[in-house]
Amino acid sequence: MTRSKIAYLRYNLVMFYDFLHKVLKIPLTMRVRCDRSISKKPELTVVFLHGIASSYATWREVLPPLLRDRDLGKVRFVALDLIGFGKSEKPDWFTYDYAGYRKTLTRTFKKLKIRTPIVLCGHSMGGLIAIDYAANGDRLIDQLILISPPVIKGSEVAGLQDQIYTKLYGELRKHTGAKPISVAASFIDALSSFEKRSLNTRAFRKTMDNIILNKENYSTAAHLKIPIEIIHGRFDPLVIGANLKKLTERNSHIHLTETFGGHDMFGAKAKKINKIFKDTILHMLLQSDL
């Protein structure tokens, strides 16, 4: 087959793809990067969502020990790449807002044929998407586990720290192509799951505007009525710890654990997260057997 014919076929596939998803509004599905269970008939499904400018690699120190743990043999573990990041599709026409991610997550659940209770886990922005889906999604979520969710209060109740963080996040969104941001991103990229190449993209800009800077995040989390485990690193510069503590005061369903570490999941923080994951999952399995 000649190059021109290959190019023609690719063009037609792209046009057909856009017609299905952009014109007919058929939701996209997220790329499944991990889907494993020791049991052929799992009793619980744990779904992992990464943060902004990252991929399922975020969970590289958390997921493998869980997969090897024979005590968790009845659990199905699923790790996804969010639309716009990792190996998932990155269409320019995608909205990159909560409504868009709710639709793609629901369709992904259907594609995976998940018929068990679901624990939805999110790191950073993935935690915000998990909160929104638990509140507004089509599928019932039984438990949330959130690591370092950057919850900023809305303007009507925002304190000085919230205003400063909103300003800083806004500046980061506007100046992603600037040299200092690029240098900082290279440093962070080497030490975490953060991916520098995602910075200067529409997905990064739109999710920063629509997800991280969304004024409803705090209120949505405060009103959820399902069990929520939150893990926060004491030295995390990207999360307002005081807001997470306030959430636990407002919502009795939330349990907050502070641990050593920053925003990502390495070392002592990863070990603490693994313990919380295992304890939470085993408790849910025990409850389902009663």
DSSP result, 153-173:
--TTT--HHHHHHHHHHHHHH
Alpha helices, H only, 69-159: 98-112, 125-136
220, 153 in Cβ contact below 8 A? no
The percent of the chain in helix, strand and coil, each rounded to the nearest 5, is 50, 15, 35
The neighbour count for residue 95, using CB atoms within 10 Å, is: 13
Mean of the per-residue pLDDT values of the chain: 86
Partnered with residue 229 across adjacent β-strands are: 145, 255
Q: What are the tens digits of pLDDT across the range 167-216?
A: 766 666 665 555 444 444 443 434 445 676 777 899 999 999 999 999 99
Rounded distance, CA 214 to CA 152, Å? Answer: 8
Q: What are phi and psi of 2, to 5 degrees?
A: -75, 165
- Does residue 75 register a pLDDT over 50? yes
Model pTM score: 0.87
Q: Show the tokens assigned to 225.
A: 């009525």
Tell me 27's DSSP state. P
Q: What are the tens digits of pLDDT across the range 111-156?
A: 999 999 999 999 999 999 999 999 999 999 999 999 999 999 876 5
Rounded distance, CA 150 to CA 50, Å? Answer: 13
Rounded distance, CA 53 to CA 184, Å? Answer: 14
pLDDT in the model for residue 198:
77
Rounded distance, CA 146 to CA 47, Å? Answer: 12
Block residue for tokens 């638990």 = 134
198, 204 in Cβ contact below 8 A? yes
- Pairing outcome for strands 254-259 and 143-147: unpaired
For residue 157, name the pLDDT band (cuts at 50, 70, 90). Answer: low
